[in-house]
Amino acid sequence: MTTHAATPVWDPEQYLRHSGPRSRPFHDLLARVPVRDPARIADLGCGPGNVTALLAERWPRARITGLDTSEEMLRQARERLPGAEFLRADLRGWTPDGSYDLIISSATFQWVPGHEESFPAWTGALAPGGAFAFTVPGNFGEPSHVLLHELCESEAWRERLGGLQRPGHVLTPAQYLERLAGQGLAVDAWETTYVHVLEGEDAVLDWTKGTTLRPVLTALRGDAEARTRFLSEYGALLREAYPRGRHGTVFPFRRVFVVARRG
């Protein structure tokens, strides 16, 4: 997982606190993958291996390689799934080392500026009938992200956090379709807005601590006072934008999906 700035420090335990709703889009992506019995799979941005385990469950005979930049994530992935291969790699420079039947990714490309420029090299490694499938967040215009960007760029925080939070590097489903169809692939692209109901106090803040907030938390690492103050300010903004109701905190989350198959 990579940002335009220094790579954030990841916390697998925090990330997995919301593993249920986080992994649901991957289940929906897998349901549309047309590959029956892949011999070789690459999981780009595998994180702590929770969705890689779903690949191993569906295709137990496949050789699976998970790729990520975070040693913290990779360490947990190796413990979770010792039968798979996990390698440290920056997707901005990664090229396939052979033929793959499935190259798949969940919630990673938003951290990789210009990821679409790598599509020809990645899809060029697909075996006949192979597929390139991914899902990325598409909610960068929602309060959770807009408020964070505005807070980082405020006078109080700009010197330390300015430039850390920018809109995700994500295209529309139609733009992804055009790029991949232009490479001769059959493309299925769509979007879904999940309406999550989160439990607990400051539920949306807790969610963002596992993903969106990682660059900020990394930048403030070692300064407990500043970290506490920033989280207090951001948490107050989130409570106003996403008020807790009788049944929990409603948190809409848009996702973009693409499955491209080589004929």
Q: Which CATH superfamily is domain 12-261 in?
A: Vaccinia Virus protein VP39 (3.40.50.150)
Residue 3 has pLDDT above 50, yes or no: no
Kindly report whether the global pTM for this prediction surpasses the value 0.85: yes
Confidence class for position 18, pLDDT limits 50, 70, 90: confident
Q: Which residues fall within 8 angstroms of residue 182, CB to CB, at 6 or more apart? A: none
Residue 1 has pLDDT above 50, yes or no: no
Confidence class for position 8, pLDDT limits 50, 70, 90: confident
What confidence score (pLDDT) does residue 5 get? Answer: 45
Residues 167-223 have pLDDT tens digits of: 678 999 999 999 999 999 999 999 999 999 999 889 999 999 998 999 999 999 999
What confidence score (pLDDT) does residue 243 get? Answer: 96
Mean pLDDT of 86-115: 95
Q: Across the chain, what does the average pLDDT equal?
A: 92
